[in-house]
Structure 1
Amino acid sequence: MWHLLMEIVLLLTVAFVLGAIAQKLKQSAIIGYLMAGAVVGPLLFNAEAVRQVAELGVALLLFSIGLEFSFSRLRTLGSIALIGGTLQVIISLALFAILLIPFTDLSTAIAIGAMAALSSTAVVLRVLVDRAAIDSIHGRNALGILLLQDIAVVPLVLLVTVLSQGGSAGEIALHLGKTLGGAVILVVAFYLLFYHLVPRLLMAQGLFANRELVVLLAIIIALGSIWVAHALALSPALGAFLAGMLLAESPFASQIRSDIVSIRTLFVTLFFTSVGMLADPSWLVQHLQEVLIGLLLVFGVKTLIIYAIARFFNNGPVHALATGFTLAQVGEFSFVLAAAAFEGALINADQFAIVVSITILSLLFAPYTVVNAEKWALFVLTRLFRSKLQYSGKTPMNPQPDQMHVLIIGFGPAGQEVAQALKSHNVDSHVIELNPHTAAKAGQMDLHVHIGDATSSDMMNHIGSQAICAAVITLPDPKTCRDVIANLKLLLPGIPILTRSRYHRYSMDLKNRGATIVVDEESTVGQTLADNLITLMHKSNQDAMACALTGERSP
């Protein structure tokens, strides 16, 4: 055990160093993690044990993606997410399978086609967010398609598992029927457990306020769902994703996601380093020509497919091609499909090696294609049509006024007054509140409720996907207000921030930390008392005033 621990520490240390170097060079840290695995992998004696630990990272990643997935969020991304993302996965899988049929059997061609259909959520979203391009037209297109791809991972894993079992068409159909039957049982059981029982358990008095218990419960849910899926002979990834997806509709999703982010980061880092361990530099050098041809084929075919789909949904040619360049790479979940196919003898060692090599190289190039997507698209189309194209650049898809939301942090009496006033003016509100019972009042007002800690960057990052136009902090604690302001300035830059200050001595500090308007309670109360006193004096004569001050009623 101690040797395994030492090797994990060594692997994480090298991953940290190379990941930091990659970040310094303005590249994705994932590139550093992959390189760490390639460098350290040959030195490890317990490589298989490390890979088994890393599989937990994949499951936790899918659990957190399930927490991100909600039907309401998917609807906000429009038809290009729901329909375009589905078309992209199906068409890419089918076209790559057709191209591969002359070189291998149908089942293997379908499996490799499924691997090639996926793009890298981790790399693309990181680069888009870092460059503030997530709300550009091609950025929102990419976000919608990536979300559907992440959802598609689960049925694709099931597909690869069924194909690995081989047999005739009838036997494959029988295996598929059994798998789907097990999946239905899993969905029904998880629905009853995670959609009804767990939220009620979290609503129990004092339970949700204890962060340690929430973290523990989240880990139990994630790992328990993995085990149950395995016991039903289903993919552990399916169990993790379903558990997260069913919890996503509860108001606790953002806080659970925030609480497990550190643990997930550990295991996901191990996953990417374990992928790097699969790299075989000597094999790559010997088969460099085949790998490069495969890489160019994947980039070209995927770019054209996504371009056609984006054009079908009335995107301009530049934005459509930029979306294609952004999603042209092979994604991290392709490693999951490749590992399942290799373990099931669906692909051989050489096929596995070429898939891994193409995927790693595409991830290495992905940050460059995402960063330069618009520039390359404009260049290609201008040369192709030999004319200037009408192009709006990085114009963000700004929400219409009726789509704007105000973020209310804290739903005590002050927060409720703000929400009521906004509702009377038909302004939609999102509420962050740590106390489930207080948050229930916001739910009764038909507001968007997020139960959790507003000082959590992951919580705020999730809220930031909404069209927030202003934030109102109604919390009484000045230290918490400072932390929330810092979070808002980092993750929702540019929006006006209104906050309360319970005591006068904290007002200037909150203002200096970035609050647009600070309502000083002590000054406000004093001013209100003075205004009422002056009004009373103006309305009464001296004798009536004297009677009022002594508590007597005027005759």
Structure 2
Amino acid sequence: MELWILLADIVFLLAACLIGGGLASRIGQSPLVGYLLAGMLVGGPGGFGFVGSNVEIEEIAELGVALLLFSLGLEFSIERLKGLGSRPLLGGASQVIVTVLAGAVAALAYGMTMKPAIALGAMAALSSTAVVLRILMERSELEMPHGRNSLGVLLTQDIAVVPLAVLMTVLGGDGTPKDVAMDVGKLVLMAGGLATALYVVTKIAVLTLGTLTLERNRELTVIFAVVIGLGSAAAAHSAGISPALGAFISGMLLGSSQFAIQIRADVSSLRVLLLTLFFGSAGMVADPLWILSHLHWVVAATAALTIGKLVITTAIFLAFRQSLRVAAATGLALAQIGEFAFVLGAIGRTSGVVSDDVYALVVSVTIVSFFVSALAVPFAPKFGDWAARMLGVGIDISAEDGTPSSPHTTDVVVVGFGPTAQLASIPLMESHLRVTVIDLNHAGILTARQRGFDGHVGDATSPDVLEHASIGEAKLVIVTLPHFRSALTILQLVRSMNPSATVLVRSRYQIHSDALAAAGGIISGDEEQVGGAIGEQVKTWLTETGTATN
């Protein structure tokens, strides 16, 4: 009978999360907000008490954490990190470290002891991958400078979850610094031993089942992934290591195999189900009556967190020689607590370093910060422009590249120097025209200078950058950025600053061509070129096979 009661509670909680997630999506919020609020209302201390199996559901939901880290391990890729560039990744690592320290200092100032203060700083350091990336992708801003910065920081934070989880486990132990060092060494040795054992087991399993068998029988791949992922979590728990860490290690090992893409797709449904339970159970920790009675503290903590992370992230990217406009936009986009704070909080509660009150406060602040983020992230580019205007800081593209600023003249301005621009600029190499290239990618600028062009690192959506590039003197402007909003912004700025220039604009999708043409650009469409190239191949095939004459 108890089993059926637990099953009924799980179904009821999932149904509540379904309704809450749907309503949250309807008002432009992340479904995670709906899951948290649903858990709070149906099973929280101040809720309606419809769900009574809180402890049992929390234990099941811990599997969701393990699968989340397992999926994160599958996504881990050195190539993916390199593709983002060094500044977003270094900025992300710096942001995590500085925020952990700042959060710990603030907690100590309010009377917390050292270990809980560090734990609170660790939870506050992480931003919401689910919320931020969802909004940036919906607004097509992921390829903009602040979008790439945000992606690099969020990916770095995701990777930092593993060492922070280890930190939570270590903080839960008692003893002298020597004992703590020994605990860390023990964890490292156990993790290394677990990784070695998992590597051997994975190889044996692949050899035993056979590569062809796993590829042709999808159900075996699912079972294989569950056995490796959850088995490693159980083995890690038995060895005294965080189960989430064990699942991450196994995911990282499988991530380099030929089954990674298929496994990632196969476990996604199970991961979504268990993670929904996890966020619903996390919401059951929060007490809506406590939040209402302590609303001033929750609002104050949310405001302090938002402003603190905004200032820290902006300062870090300014230190990495990015413009104030881009740095401020990145800072506002990342100024919230993320879903991984629940993962760290769950580990911290298990190890005893995070109390129920602290965890409830983190859940409450996270819910509020999710709502704030839904308004703040779309406003990030305008906030960056406002910050630059208010402080009177122009963007000197030469200074960003580390070279002295000097006025210059130009005949042609090329914005973006990827493969498309490199092909388009070949005729310019044989001319005597003075060509200026603007790009945020240092590799593209290096290629431009190798071709004899004048290259500058800068964000061409800023009027200051275009002005320093002598856009008013240009006879021809070539905009090859794949991002529609950025291309349209640049086109409008060029038209306002140099109405007589000829502007050639790349349109990645046909749906955007009319808007770019209306803004005064001569359009070259990717879809038309691809369609035309395929059409020519079809004609060749028809001719070679004689089908055209039939």
Fold conserved between structures, TM > 0.5: yes
Distance 1:163 1:526 in 2: 70
Equivalent residue number for residue 249 of structure 1: 256
State yes or no: 1:60 paired with 2:78: no
- Are the counterparts in 2 of residues 382 and 389 from structure 1 also a CA contact under 8 Å? no
Matched, 1:284 2:291: yes
Q: CA deviation at 1:355?
A: 2.0
Asked if structure 2 preserves the Cα contact closer than 8 Å seen for 1:33 and 1:276, the reply is yes
Residue of 20, 23, 43 corresponding to 2:22: 20
SS state at 1:527 partner: helix
Which aligned pairs between 1:62-81 and structure 2 lie closer than 5 A?
62-81=69-88
Partner of 2:151 in structure 1? 143
> Contact 1:303–1:324 (CA<8 Å) still a contact in 2?
yes
CA distance in 2, matches of 1:293, 1:20: 29
Q: Distance in 2 between matches of 1:10 and 1:368?
A: 31
Q: Which residue of 208, 211, 216 maps to 2:218?
A: 211
Cα distance between partner residues in 2 of 1:129 and 1:198: 38
Change in 2 beyond 3 A, CA 1:388/1:158: closer
Distance 1:320 1:525, change over 3 A: closer
Contact 1:93 1:117 in 2 (8 A): yes
2:13 and 2:307 map into 1 onto residues whose CA distance is 35
The structural deviation recorded for 1:389 is 6.8
Q: CA contact under 8 A between 1:91 and 1:305: conserved in structure 2?
A: yes
Structure 1 alignment gaps of length 5 or more? 392-396, 405-466, 470-491, 497-510, 534-555
1:363 positional shift: 2.1
SS of the residue corresponding to residue 267 of structure 2 reads helix
Structure 2, gaps ≥5 residues long: 44-48, 398-414, 423-480, 484-506, 512-526
CA positional deviation for 1:322: 0.9
1:87 counterpart = 2:89: no
Q: What residue identity is the alignment partner of 2:241?
A: L
2:121 pairs, out of 98, 113, 128, with: 113
User: Is the Cα contact below 8 Å between 1:229 and 1:235 reproduced in 2?
Assistant: yes
- Note the C-alpha offset of 1:325: 0.8
CA contact (8 A) 1:215 1:259 kept: yes
- Shift of residue 64 of structure 1? 0.8
Question: Which amino acid counterpart does residue 528 of structure 1 have in structure 2?
Answer: E
Tell me how far apart the structure 1 counterparts of residues 377 and 181 of structure 2 sit (CA, whole Å).
40
Q: What residue is the counterpart of 1:178 in the other structure?
A: 186
Structure 1 counterpart SS, 2:211: coil
Counterpart of 1:308 in structure 2 is 315
Q: What's the secondary structure of 1:331's corresponding residue?
A: coil
The Cα of 1:252 is off from its aligned counterpart by 2.3
1:401 aligns with 2:419: yes
Give the structure 2 partner of residue 131 of structure 1: 139
Q: CA deviation at 1:233?
A: 0.6
Amino acid at match of 2:92: G
- Aligned pairs for 1:211-230 (under 5 A) are 211-230=218-237
Residue among 131, 139, 160 paired with 1:152: 160
Query: Is the contact between residue 74 and residue 81 of structure 1 (CA under 8 Å) also seen in structure 2?
Result: no
1:300 and 1:187 map into 2 onto residues whose CA distance is: 40
Deviations 1:400-420 (A, max 9, x none): 11899xxxxxxxxxxxxxxxx
The structure-2 alpha-carbon separation of the partners of 1:529 and 1:30, relative to structure 1 and needing over 3 Å to count, comes to closer
After superposition, the Cα gap between the structure-2 partners of 1:526 and 1:345, relative to the gap in structure 1 and judged at 3 Å, is closer
Which amino acid is 1:494 matched to? Y
Aligned counterpart for 2:13 among listed residues 11, 22, 37 = 11
- From 31, 35, 55, the equivalent of 1:29 is 31
Distance in 2 of aligned mates of 1:233 and 1:120: 29
Aligned to 2:169: 161
Whole-angstrom CA distance in 1 between matches of 2:366 and 2:157: 16
2: CA distance, partners of 1:214 / 1:399: 42
Aligned length: 427
Could you state the TM-score of these two structures normalised by the residue count of structure 1?
0.70
SS in 2 for 1:208: helix
Q: Assess, with a 3 A threshold, how the Cα gap between structure 1 residues 239 and 4 changes in structure 2: closer, same or farther.
A: same
Of the structure 1 ranges 91-100 and 515-524, higher mean CA displacement relative to structure 2 is found in: 515-524
Shift of 1:307: 0.9
Distance in 1 between residues matched to 2:144 and 2:154, nearest whole Å: 15
Relative to structure 1, the CA distance from residue 388 to residue 203 in structure 2 (aligned partners, 3 Å threshold; closer, same or farther) is same
2:324 to 312, 317, 325: 317
Q: How far 1:144 sits from its partner (Å)?
A: 0.9
Structure-1 separation of matches of 2:228 and 2:416: 38
Q: Which moved more, 1:57-66 or 1:245-254?
A: 245-254
What SS does structure 2 have at the residue aligned with 1:372?
A: helix
**Per-residue Cα deviation, 1:356-383 (whole angstroms, up to 9, x for no partner):** 2112221232222212111223223423
Q: Distance in 2 between matches of 1:516 and 1:12?
A: 49
Amino acid at match of 1:25: I
- Alpha-carbon distance in 1 for matches of 2:53, 2:547: 76
Alpha-carbon deviation of 1:139? Answer: 1.0
Displacement after TM superposition at 1:528 (Å): 1.7
Give the deviation of 1:111 after TM superposition. Answer: 0.9
- Runs of 4+ residues deviating >3 angstroms: 191-194, 196-203, 386-391, 492-496, 514-526, 529-533
Alpha-carbon contact 2:142-2:148 (below 8 Å) kept: yes
The alignment partner of 1:205 has SS state of helix
State the secondary structure of the residue aligned to 2:263: helix
Please say if residues 80 and 145 of structure 1, whose CA atoms lie closer than 8 Å, have aligned partners that are also in contact: no
Identity %: 41
Cα 1:173/1:398, change in 2 over 3 Å: same
Q: How far off its partner does 1:207 sit?
A: 2.4
Q: Cα–Cα, structure 1 residues 526 and 261, in superposed 2: closer, same or farther, change >3 Å?
A: same
Q: CA deviation at 1:323?
A: 0.8
